Chains A and B, each alone.
Chain A
Amino acid sequence: MNLLTVSGSPHVFNDTSVSKIMWGVVIAMIPATLVSFWYFGLGGIIITLSAVIFCVLIEYLVQRYLLKEAPSVKDGSAVITGILLAFNVPSNLPVWELLIGCIVAIAIAKMSFGGLGKNPFNPALIGRVFMLISFPVDMTSWPLPVTNRMVLTDAVTGPTTLGILKEGLANGETVSQISSQLPAYQQMFMGDIGGSLGEVSALALIIGGLFMLYKKIITWHIPVSFMLSVFMFSGILYLTDPEHYIDPVFHLLAGGLMLGAIFMATDMVTSPMTYKGMIIFGTGCGILTVLIRVFGAYPEGVSFAILIMNACVPLINRGFKPKRFGEVVKNG
């Protein structure tokens, strides 16, 4: 007779899997990737491809030869980290610097904690911050969108919109004086501005985010609370002194905010697990971002804000439990 399988219930499972989720995120990043290729040309393509190859290769080598476990690169999570890293650097970054970022992201921030699921911090952000601290100049000279897409070098570099603002304010100029140098919001929305590869086009990022919402990979809680708190906090500042603080729409469109809110803060491994917790997390990210942007030393604060909130996740998980069924009795 056949041998029967005897196992505990349930006996059926839905068809999601870790790899389906991860490859879903990769698909969601395609629009922003294409936009970066469009604006930054060959440089963008080289950075993206190298980051992905480096990350996958490093994960494979670490698992194969250091941890001696079955490599799981097929799950797509290293590809995500690669693309996110590329999204976070300028298109003319020397490739060896990128390699170091990838090593830090994968080998240290992810694998040394036990691999996917065990890392407390978003690996791509750790890689980015490491590069920012190690190679401050290369990481902050932002090529403007290229005119000739097939040429690699001599891209015109310039500061990001946030950099222009920070500089100007530091020099004592008012917002209205600076705004003539800033790109129009329409440009910022489409991505025709200087910046790191993936952050320039809010539109492409939003399309990716909607796709992930539709596929139930993310929920609205983190991106919406993140953006809303940035909008409200910077809006309050703006209302107190519009000559000193720029308007909230600028904060939403500038820098890595969309990228951070949609793709980095939503990383399920490093964000809270309940809806309540997610809203606290997103709001915290938003407030910290504005604080760093407005009062901190760096023009951009998204990465640091998310990393700080990553560190708070265990606390948030403990403090914001789901509502237990039958706990609060209000019968009607």
Chain B
Amino acid sequence: MLKTFKTGGVHPPENKITEKQAIKVLPVPAIVYIPFSQHLGAPAKVLVAKGDKVKAGQLIAKGEAFISANIHSSVSGKVQKIDEVIETSGYRKPSVIIEVEGDVWDESIDRSDRISKDIILSQKEIIKRINEMGVVGLGGATFPSHVKLMVPEGKKAELLIINGVECEPYLTSDHRLMLEKGEEILVGTQILMIALGVSKAMIGIENNKPDAIAHLTELAKNFNGIQVHGLKVKYPQGAEKQLIKALVNREVPSGKLPIEVGAVVHNAGTSFAVYEAVQKNKPLFERVVTITGKSVKNPGNFLVRIGTPVSDLIAASGGLPEDTGKIIGGGPMMGKALVSPEVPIVKGTSGILIMNREESGRQELKNCIRCGKCITVCPMGLEPWLLEKLVINENFEKAEAEKIVDCMECGSCHYTCPSKRPLLDYIRFGKGKVLQIIRTRNK
């Protein structure tokens, strides 16, 4: 029997429309908007000013805090201005706006296609390089990758897990990457293993991607210590804790990080970015983005420069469909609805999903019928109906005791509720409140 995690989970229609579409390169846009904060943690500090000439790959903002990440220019051209730009989150964020001129890359980047397998850097140098190149988790959480590689005092990493699950419906960017850049991903995996000092890595892939499983399994024969595991399709298997549970049956304690059980998880796309950073000296300034949706004319997977307006990508897929009701940055379960198609693609944008008007509405809300289905599907073993009630009653203390902070916002509860309760809307709000309360208490 195929492995999967045990508690909860749902199986939304997969709709992997673009899984057979090879990655195409999106032409360099005329203008890019690059926010300083595309990662979890402190915003990076800007290094360029209006009028400066930049090259693709040039450092334009430095991540100085412990949890922060460098930002590089994704194009060559002139800095038009530094201004606030509406970003995927819907908020205005300070960004560098660059007018594109040509496509000149920083000389230090190796632009050849040759796969470079020999890893010459030491453990320390690797982590430093990954930091310099601005690599962050590309699965969506955008946690700075080098931080994850620095194992805290007193803990020991035993196992590296590469997340090739891509459990969000519609998205196929990791799938394509695994098929087309499999070898690079495996080299990246080895680099990560060295950085962590582990001798074992597991790559988890859901078995709706049999071609990727077969391909990587074949390639992995030439690498030491890397195993590929097919997993039963179940959402949210791509969540770190669920993936660890599925692969090695260890449960990360509530409020703790995976390193607690000796595991470190990196996304397959991140592994590719690590390869490029370490072997090719290439900063993270482009990524694969799926553009998809039922009404999209030519859905596909594109290699996109960071900062490209979403509208450029939409244009490449045949234009914004007539009946567009919602544009989502990410997948349908955890993605964010965009306020406008003009927002830029950032490091964390794994896909753009266009939903038609009919799909975009929410259904009629009913009383909770106490069916308990939200409990059954919650992968964290929470009681979403109760959390909703507690948040409505502003009983945040009780909500904290009921582990509202453990909610990973996977949306399985709202997805499942027959009464169509907006459980996650309330829980998200309540979680914010509770985190705030905890912060003030710890001061």
Contact stretch, chosen from A26-34, A54-62, A165-173, A267-275: A267-275
For B423, the closest partner residue in chain A by CB is A10
Q: How many interface residues does A have (CB within 8 Å)?
A: 44
Is A12 in the interface zone, CB < 8 Å from B? Answer: yes
Known A4-B326, A17-B363, A21-B371; contact A10-B414, beta-carbon cutoff 8 A: yes
B338 contact set on A, CB distance < 8 A? 4, 6
A6 contact set on B, CB distance < 8 A? 90, 326, 337-339
For B260, the closest partner residue in chain A by CB is A329
Known A325-B406, A331-B251; contact A7-B337, beta-carbon cutoff 8 A: yes
A291 to chain B, nearest CB (A): 27
A18 CA / B415 CA spacing, docked (Å): 14
Is B303 in the interface zone, CB < 8 Å from A? Answer: no
Is B394 in the interface zone, CB < 8 Å from A? Answer: no
A29 to chain B, nearest CB (A): 18
* Cβ-defined contact, B368 with A11, below 8 A: no
B368 contact set on A, CB distance < 8 A? 117
A69 to chain B, nearest CB (A): 11
For B253, the closest partner residue in chain A by CB is A326
In-complex Cβ contact of A323 among B353, B381, B414 (8 A): B381
0/1 per residue, B246-273, Cβ < 8 Å to A? Answer: 0001111111100001000000000000
Residue of A4, A75, A118, A323 most packed against chain B (CB within 10 A): A4
Is B334 in the interface zone, CB < 8 Å from A? Answer: yes
Is B325 in the interface zone, CB < 8 Å from A? Answer: yes
Is B380 in the interface zone, CB < 8 Å from A? Answer: yes
Task: Tell me if A's interface is mostly helix, strand, loop or mixed.
Answer: loop
A124 to chain B, nearest CB (A): 16
Known A11-B355, A273-B383; contact A324-B403, beta-carbon cutoff 8 A: yes
Is A114 in the interface zone, CB < 8 Å from B? Answer: yes
For B380, the closest partner residue in chain A by CB is A325
A331 contact set on B, CB distance < 8 A? 250-251, 261
A16 CA / B12 CA spacing, docked (Å): 12
B333 contact set on A, CB distance < 8 A? 9-12
A12 CA / B358 CA spacing, docked (Å): 11
B432 to chain A, nearest CB (A): 12
B:206-263 near A, CB below 8 Å:
241, 245, 249-256, 261
Is A321 in the interface zone, CB < 8 Å from B? Answer: yes
* Cβ-defined contact, B415 with A14, below 8 A: yes
A9 contact set on B, CB distance < 8 A? 330, 332-337, 409, 411, 424
Is A115 in the interface zone, CB < 8 Å from B? Answer: yes
Known A11-B328, A18-B419; contact A325-B337, beta-carbon cutoff 8 A: no
A324 contact set on B, CB distance < 8 A? 254, 380-382, 403, 406
0/1 per residue, B403-434, Cβ < 8 Å to A? Answer: 10010010110111011101011001000000
B248 to chain A, nearest CB (A): 9
A330 CA / B261 CA spacing, docked (Å): 10
Is B122 in the interface zone, CB < 8 Å from A? Answer: no
B330 contact set on A, CB distance < 8 A? 9
A213 to chain B, nearest CB (A): 14
A323 contact set on B, CB distance < 8 A? 7, 381
A:264-289 near B, CB below 8 Å:
268-275
B367 contact set on A, CB distance < 8 A? 114-118
Known A273-B385, A324-B380, A326-B406; contact A10-B415, beta-carbon cutoff 8 A: yes
* Cβ-defined contact, A326 with B256, below 8 A: yes
A8 contact set on B, CB distance < 8 A? 337, 422, 424-425, 428
A:98-123 near B, CB below 8 Å:
114-118
Known A4-B327, A117-B368; contact A10-B90, beta-carbon cutoff 8 A: no
B205 to chain A, nearest CB (A): 22
* Cβ-defined contact, B169 with A21, below 8 A: no
0/1 per residue, B154-193, Cβ < 8 Å to A? Answer: 0000000000000001000000000000000000000000
Residue of B241, B324, B371, B382 most packed against chain A (CB within 10 A): B371
Residue of A2, A72, A274 most packed against chain B (CB within 10 A): A2
A117 CA / B419 CA spacing, docked (Å): 10
A118 CA / B419 CA spacing, docked (Å): 13
* Cβ-defined contact, A13 with B339, below 8 A: no
* Cβ-defined contact, B254 with A327, below 8 A: yes
Can you identify 10 A-B contacts, CB atoms within 8 angstroms? A2-B320, A5-B325, A16-B373, A75-B366, A270-B370, A271-B370, A273-B370, A325-B251, A326-B253, A330-B251
Interface residues of A (CB under 8 A from B): 2, 4-14, 16-18, 20-21, 72, 75, 114-118, 268-275, 321-332
